[in-house]
Amino acid sequence: MSMEGLPKEPPPAMIFDMSRPVDEPAARRALGRIREADHRMRKAEEDRALAKQDRAMAVQDALRTGLTLREIGRRLGLSHERVRQMGKT
């Protein structure tokens, strides 16, 4: 299909086109809130990863003492499958 003869269209406007008026104080507040939310999200992800490692180490320690997954689960009120999953790093 030939494109000859078709009018050339200007490129689509960028989302961050600064040619339109922007409420600078409100924009700065919004960007600050985004930055803070991103920081909190990254911190929460880090905390979850550390908690996962702690759980896995605790399950491994319990298994080394001679407890089985079923015994650990019964004492904690969890299924042995959940305990097995918690033991993975």
Mean pLDDT score, 49-66: 96
Higher pLDDT, 57 or 88: 57
**How confident is the model over 11-23, as pLDDT tens digits?**
555 556 666 777 8
Confidence (pLDDT) at 24? 84
Q: How far apart are CA 85 and CA 89, in angstroms?
A: 9
Mean pLDDT of all residues in the chain? 86
- pTM listed for this prediction: 0.60
- Residues 6+ away with beta carbon under 8 Å from 76: 83
**How confident is the model over 61-79, as pLDDT tens digits?**
999 999 999 999 999 999 9
